[in-house]
Amino acid sequence: MSLVKCTLKELQDRFTRGDVSAVEIVRAYFLRISVVESKVKAYITLNDKETLLSQAEALDHALSAWRKTEPMMAMPIAVKDNICTEGLPTTCGSRILGGFVPPYSATAVDALLAQQYFLIGKTNLDEFGMGSSTEYSAFGASRNPWNLSHVPGGSSGGSAAAVAADECVAALGTDTGGSIRQPAACCGVVGLKPTYGRVSRYGLIAFASSLDQIGPITKDVMDAALMLNVLAGHDARDSTSADKAVPDFTRVFKKKDVKKLKIGVPLEFFAEGLDEEVYDAVGEALAVLEDLGGTMEEVSLPHTGVAVATYYIVATAEASSNLARYDGVKYGFRAKESSDLLEMYRTTRQEGFGQEVKRRIMLGTYALSSGYYDAYYAKAQAVRTLIREDFDRVFQDVDLLVTPVMPTPAFQLGEKIEDPLQMYLSDLYTISASLAGVPAISLPCGFSRKGLPIGMQILGRPFEEDVVLRAARAYELATDWRKKRPRIR
């Protein structure tokens, strides 16, 4: 089998055994990239091939005496371009960070570096993670490997497309309201948003601090568990990271069923607006889970209807403040020839940010303004608590929830770009888990008649990623969706 078709687990095994060298891995992936990248446009910045080759040579040489490997050693991994990588430009898909090269790496990247992974490149995203299609990237949209006229989803569309197109073995994404799960569903791969606080945010360039999480985008559920093993853990540099024990997330895979698990089906997620094909695919997936020993139960999350509105106040309010630092003073882009400070601020931000980012900064600024704070931000926080309580309540009864990831399969490029509200609604099913901070995975559960992947979402209790992964893996093994690969043309 071609190296680039391997899952992370398969590639790890082959490298560990010495069946394949680090140099061969780097060569294979760069060859693949040279064939498909011009069509998929998954990357903003590719790492230097020669640099990686010399790292690979050194690694092979070091291992030639005594083969002692680590799980991520020599694994070609892509990193979303809103995660800081020392020495490699990090753009957030924005002009405003033009020329910015971070002097430090994110904690999540450091964890991979410590095991000598290979950073293949930095993947495309909607500017600062604000979008659901990568069309809001200042570097142009990425394409869906299953159908190049469709979007790969977003904002981690570059990462999802790169994994689906075999341009890396796994990737890091970030999820604020669905930005890992939604593109994973669009591209037919697996995307895991861990519990808020599970993975350090240090070095993740903030969109909305109380929602942002780093997580893996992988070819299957096993790989997601392997990645989470490396990424998870407390970080003293992130005050919001949780000081919780990190289990070996692959341990639960000994069980190949979902026996004794109670699975909730929230009615609000199967209501009006859900595409029929998606409805059917998720419905069939529920039947598979039932066959695997799960007990099904209808549940209700009554505040689901206000989740999108709540999200767009909380997230934009935080973003309006988080993005204030891009002022042209210290790093990144600065507009030329301003006559005074105020003009420099204005023109820098006017020219540096894209439309959607400016729209959200304005929304958030408004929501926090004196006189509006109570009506918007404070109210949204109160509703967020209610949404969290909805989850607390149903999770007293059921172990997991199963829902669609997005209302439709991937839409066409340009289809929603002029209609922000329609674009926002594509996050309908993913936003609740973000507001509640609970873990959620997106995995393939079928294809549309047009041949586009459909995803299902499994949500669990806070810090119970292991339970989520167990159910997802059992489903994955009971079906063949992961074996279907896109033909890029």
Is position 382 an interface residue for other proteins (rule: CB under 8 A)? no
102 or 404: whose CB is closer to other proteins?
A: 102
Burial class (CB in 10 A: 0-12, 13-18, 19+), 210: middle
43 or 100: whose CB is closer to other proteins?
A: 100
Is position 330 an interface residue for other proteins (rule: CB under 8 A)? yes
Is position 145 an interface residue for other proteins (rule: CB under 8 A)? no
Q: Which of 100, 311, 424, 429 binds other proteins (CB under 8 A)?
A: 100
What is the C-alpha separation between 378 and 367, in angstroms, rounded? 9
CB of 408 to other proteins, least distance (A): 31
Is position 301 an interface residue for other proteins (rule: CB under 8 A)? no
Alpha helices in 41-189 (DSSP H): 49-65, 107-114, 157-164, 181-187
Q: Which of 208, 226, 230, 441 binds other proteins (CB under 8 A)?
A: 208
Dig out the tokens for 203 from the structure.
């070095």
Q: Which of 16, 300, 321, 347 binds other proteins (CB under 8 A)?
A: 321
Q: What 8-state DSSP symbol labels residue 410?
A: P
Is position 138 an interface residue for other proteins (rule: CB under 8 A)? no
Q: In this structure, what are the phi and psi dihedrals at residue 173, rounded to the nearest 5 degrees?
A: -120, 180
- DSSP string across 305-323: GGHHHHHHHHHHHHHHHHG
Q: Compute the Cα dihedral for 322, 323, 329, 330 and give only its sign.
A: positive
Residues annotated catalytic, as ranges: 80, 155, 179
Q: What residues have CB less than 8 Å from 212, skipping those under 6 apart? A: 129, 174, 175, 176, 201, 204, 206
Is position 194 an interface residue for other proteins (rule: CB under 8 A)? no
Is position 102 an interface residue for other proteins (rule: CB under 8 A)? yes
CB of 327 to other proteins, least distance (A): 6
CB of 353 to other proteins, least distance (A): 13
CB of 107 to other proteins, least distance (A): 10
Q: Strand locations in 109-227, DSSP E?
A: 118-123, 170-175, 190-193, 213-218
Dig out the tokens for 310 from the structure.
């709540």
Size of the site for other proteins (CB under 8 A): 44
User: Which residue from 415, 12, 4 is spatially nearest to 186, judged by alpha carbons?
Assistant: 415
Determine contact, residues 82/125, Cβ cutoff 8 Å. yes
Is position 238 an interface residue for other proteins (rule: CB under 8 A)? yes
Q: In this structure, what are the phi and psi dihedrals at residue 459, rounded to the nearest 5 degrees?
A: -115, 150
Determine contact, residues 316/357, Cβ cutoff 8 Å. no
- Amino acid at residue number 317: A
Q: Which of 11, 92, 141, 440 binds other proteins (CB under 8 A)?
A: 92
Q: Which of 54, 149, 240, 385 binds other proteins (CB under 8 A)?
A: 240
Q: Which of residues 51-90 bind other proteins (CB under 8 A)?
A: 83-84, 90
Site string for other proteins, 351-380 (x = CB under 8 A): --------------x--xxx--x---x---
Which residues are at the interface with other proteins (CB under 8 A)?
83-84, 90, 92, 97, 100, 102-104, 106, 201-206, 208-210, 236-240, 317-318, 320-321, 323-327, 329-331, 341, 345, 365, 368-370, 373, 377
